[in-house]
Structure 1
Amino acid sequence: MSRRVLGPPALLLLLTGCAGVQSALDPAADQAARIETIWTLMLWICGIMYLLVLAFLAAAIWKARRRLAGPPLAQGQKSDYEQPLLRALNGWVGLTVAGLLVLTIGSFFVDRQLALAEAGDALKIRITANQWWWKVEYEDPTPSRSIVTANELHLPVDRPARIELEAGDVIHSFWVPNLGGKQDLIPGRTNRLTLTPRRIGQFRGQCAEFCGLQHANMALDVTVESPQAFAAWAEHQRQPAPPPTDPRLVHGRDVFIGATCANCHQIGGEAAFGETGPNLTHLASRPSLAAGARPYSRGALAGWIADPQSLKPGNHMPYVATTPDELNALVDYLDSLK
């Protein structure tokens, strides 16, 4: 892990529970590197202009003090500083125009590179933003090999990913700072974004457009891995949940299907086909819970089911009345969904 992304990002991870680093100044993909280039260019130009403003201000104050300390000018007499000041102003206008021209040209070329990002043999992904979680779908020409998961994004290194972005309710914004720039998700419209990761690691994505009460708790765990590791992960995700054999897990599954859980959530291989909430087929393999609100653990899962509003106030998961035994059996079953 790069040294320069420790500190505030690491502290943020401890607070949010979302695995991965978040820094736009530590690019791990082609798109983020190009954005950092224009950011660095802007920093240098604006920094130099700022220092020049301070230098001119200091010079003006110094000359004004000298003029006040000298003899007063006679009527109609011109100051010795008038011509140099006029030349300095003309030079300053030229310098400003040149700086803006460089920024405009640089921005044009970076935007063009981002828009024309190479997407041959791209991994096709559709991400739908909801209040307040992410639905992630990996498309495949064979429908049975498509993958549906939630709040996690896995990408193979050195392969472009063409991501279609949609919103299920209000305007959201998809942003993984280490991999690329922001892209809005607007209801009724499909936007697209290409990411080409170049470094293996875990990164933090988030919604970057205020979308309601729990906007801050709408994170996305992003894992960039080797092609072999990605293929293994994808093949595992295609597998349905194994039918439980332990009596307690069977009881937990029956609670899940018999309660309102199955109306909103889907579990592959079971009679649960809900589309309103996240797909839970491999829930226990995810690093965080409730879109990064907490690191995943059995205790956090139990607390989430028992009282979802205390963990994430305003979310759309209803309270489900269960007895202590039913709750423990349900948590045991969901915790077995690796």
Structure 2
Amino acid sequence: MLSHVLFWGGGAVFLVTMGFLALAFLAPQGLRRAMGSRRFLIGGGIAFPVVVLTALLGYSLSVSRALTKPMSDAPLRVEIIGRQYWWEVRYPDLGEGAVTANALHLPLGREVELNLTSADVIHSLWVPNLHGKLDMIPGRVNRQRLRADKLGELRGQCTEFCGQQHALMAFDVVVQTPEDFDAWIARQRAPVPQPETEEHRRGMQVFGEAGCGACHAVRGTPWVARIAPDLSRVGSRATLAAGALPNNRGNLAGWIAAPQDIKPGNNMPSYARSLEGSDLLALASWLESLR
């Protein structure tokens, strides 16, 4: 509704302005002379835009105030930390292990409070279908309340230039029924299952030998670092590298082998020269199985 009012209000100012411009060229000389009078200039050039734009400003402020007004006393808190160039997402009210990366899951119809901050430079979070933009500033927590009223998948994006790969800093928003959301949280908190195949066992071994656990966490294992995205359920995510690639085994292997070729400037080193092809595929296969 707000966008419609602003569009038509701005459109009315534009049409009136263009109408006056046309009259200035096409109207008879007597009318053009009248249009040059002080009364006409003050009324059409000052009073009209001031009244219309002030009314639009007042309306937008009233709607914005209503959007930020708390709807409940106990919203679901979600902590989102912007990093170059990915998103860390935590649900502190739902347990220690309720954490993911580059994906925001929301329960349908429940008010959510996003606590937004940054670990490095200024980022800005925007989900066009849910709410406006809000900056994420190092050392400060900005809060944004929203409620998703339709099931489905949406896209979010960083809208503040934050470095070389700013354009490839997106995230998925998944709106679920409360039951599906609770089941998803339970899976996030649970430790990953032990590998069942020889290939997956080798992949898990390669993960440790290659030093991946120095940056990444996998629940239920000794690897608990928070420098890079949590990989506990990486196989269930729709994309890799904050929306840079669809998530599948081939892209996982390609990302591990040459992340700088895919997303130059990110903080992950390349493993093409340090991992054998079979080990690389085993590692990608194990990560894909973490769902």
Fold-level match, TM-score > 0.5? yes
- Runs (5+) with no aligned partner, structure 1: 1-36, 68-78
**What is the rounded CA distance, in whole Å, between the counterparts of 1:215 and 1:41 in structure 2?**
32
CA contact (8 A) 1:294 1:300 kept: yes
- Residue identity opposite 1:244 in structure 2: P
- Which of 255, 277, 281 is the matching residue for 2:232? 281
Which of residues 195, 200, 206 is equivalent to 1:249? 200
Give the Å deviation of 1:326: 1.4
**Structure 1: distance between partners of 2:84 and 2:32:** 67
Q: Aligned residue for 1:97?
A: 50
Give RMSD over aligned pairs.
1.8
Tell me the distance in 1 between the aligned counterparts of 2:52 and 2:197.
70
Name the counterpart of 1:265. 216
Provide Cα deviations, 1:176-222, integer angstroms capped at 9, x if missing partner: 00000000001111111111111111100010001111111111110
Question: How far did 1:83 drift?
Answer: 8.1
Name the larger-Rg structure.
1
The amino acid that maps onto 2:180 is A
Which residue of the other structure, out of 225, 228, 231, is the alignment partner of 2:179?
228
The residue type equivalent to 1:101 in the other structure is: T
One-letter code aligned to 1:169? D
* Secondary structure in 2 matching 1:250: helix
Supply the distance in 2 between the matched residues of 1:80 and 1:217 (Cα, whole angstroms): 54
Match of 2:93, SS? coil
Counterpart position of 2:73: 120
Is residue 120–residue 160 contact of structure 1 (8 Å, CA) maintained in 2? Answer: no
| 1:62 CA drift (Å) | 2.7
Deviation at 1:152, TM superposition (A): 0.5
8 Å CA contact 1:133, 1:218 repeated in 2: yes
- Alignment correspondent of 1:38: 2
State the shift of 1:61 in Å: 2.0
Q: Distance in 1 between matches of 2:62 and 2:151?
A: 27
Alignment of 1:1-338 (within 5 A): 37-63=1-27, 66=29, 81-82=33-34, 85-92=37-44, 93-140=46-93, 143-144=95-96, 146-320=97-271, 321-338=274-291
Residue type of the partner of 1:109? Answer: S
Would the alpha carbon gap of residues 206 and 119 (structure 1) be closer, same or farther in structure 2, given more than 3 Å must change? Answer: farther
Fraction of identical pairs, as percent = 42
The answer to whether the 8 A contact 1:128-1:135 is kept is yes
What is the total number of aligned residue pairs between the two structures? 288
Measured after TM superposition, the shift of residue 244 of structure 1 is 1.3
1:189 counterpart letter in structure 2: R
Checking the alignment, whether the CA contact within 8 Å between 1:119 and 1:161 is kept in structure 2 is: no
| Structure 2 CA distance for aligned equivalents of residues 202 and 83 of structure 1 | 54
- Determine if contact 1:128/1:165 at 8 Å carries over to the other structure: yes
Give the structure-2-normalised TM-score. 0.93
Q: Is the 8 A contact 2:34 2:40 kept in 1?
A: no
Name the aligned partner's letter for residue 315 of structure 1. Answer: N
The answer to whether the 8 Å contact 1:257/1:271 transfers is no
